[in-house]
Amino acid sequence: MDPDLPPLPADLATAVARFDEHLAVQRGHSAHTRRAYRADVTSLLRYAVRHGVNTLPAIDVGTLRGWLAAQADRGLARSTVARRGASARAFLRWAQRAGLVEGDPSVRLASPKLPRTLPTVLSPEAAARMLDTARDDAAAAEPDARPAALRAWAAAELLYGSGIRVGELAQVDVGDVDLGGRLVRVLGKGGKERVVPFGVPAGRAVTAWIEGGRPAFVRAGTDRALLLGNRGGRWGQRQVRDAVHRLARRAGVDDVAPHALRHSAATHLLQGGSDLRSVQEVLGHADLGTTQRYTHVDGERLRKVFVQAFPRA
């Protein structure tokens, strides 16, 4: 966001604050998601003010197109521009329902067509190599380094073994984990809670962490977070990402982010015979179409089913 852009008039700043409250209370969005919406909407409104548009009703489709064009001229990725356009649409739809504008100019704003990008997916062998490396590192670590190695092992196993998002993992508390039933309760997008199963290897890693790693990081005032940082606070998403990148390098596989472990879990579930609806529930997708992205790597299984089942194969 350009620092030389003018500040927002009071009524526009109030509208942004009310929209943020709507996202929190009515939509149940996380602080991270709300921060992204606020940044996008504030960018639009500051652009409008700079071009002489000082009230919400004065924003028209020309203002929206000019703002998005300015984003593209700055060299932002098409996906980023598309996301900002979606934020503007959500804000203006809300503004119309809230009675702040009579009409929604964003209905005339065309959505850019984005190329379908396929998620990064590890092979089952590469995923196993990463997780085996994490286990072996924990077993071989010196006593003072062992708690951190156990933490990285538990995080990687849970990300892959349950397919949860890195943000969901960071918010898991000790009480959310049922080691006997191998289940973890997470709070997903929109504040929706779901219970996700995980396998025996993840259960071993989490047990080893809780018993032999987590106590080393407990401090006065430490809460019930499952994963703790070096100072006793909740281990954040950035720290989880850094640990996964380091683990990929140690295992000698392609560099991946935590989300790739989620993508890999979904793909391997489908390859193993799980149906789309079950995978949708595990991943917490609101739309089945989102889950269908993972079928692109499962062509060989589909081909075998086709040959076995179709009389004209």
Q: What's the rounded Cα separation, in Å, for the pair 291 and 305?
A: 20
How many Cβ atoms from other residues are within 10 Å of residue 185's Cβ?
A: 15
pLDDT at residue 313 in the model: 43
pLDDT at residue 284 in the model: 66
- Annotated active-site residue 304? The verdict is no
Determine which one of 93, 241, 250, 259 is catalytic.
259
E strand intervals along the chain: 177-178, 183-187, 193-197
Backbone phi, psi, residue 164, to 5°: -80, 160
pLDDT at residue 116 in the model: 57
Provide the angle, in degrees to the nearest 10, between the axes of the packed helices 124-140 and 258-271: 130
Determine which one of 84, 165, 214, 263 is catalytic.
165
| Nearest alpha-carbon partner for 147 in 85, 69, 213, 50 | 213
* Predicted TM-score (pTM) of this structure: 0.63
- Annotated active-site residue 293? The verdict is no
Q: What's the rounded Cα separation, in Å, for the pair 263 and 259?
A: 6
User: C-alpha 126: how far from its chain's center?
Assistant: 22
- Annotated active-site residue 32? The verdict is no
Query: Which residue type, as a one-letter code, is found at position 81?
Result: V
pLDDT at residue 297 in the model: 47
Ranges of residues in the chain whose predicted pLDDT is under 50: 1-3, 297-298, 302, 313
Contact 47, 67 (CB under 8 A): yes
- Annotated active-site residue 294? The verdict is yes
> What does the pLDDT look like over 90-115, one tens digit per residue?
999 999 999 999 989 888 887 666 55
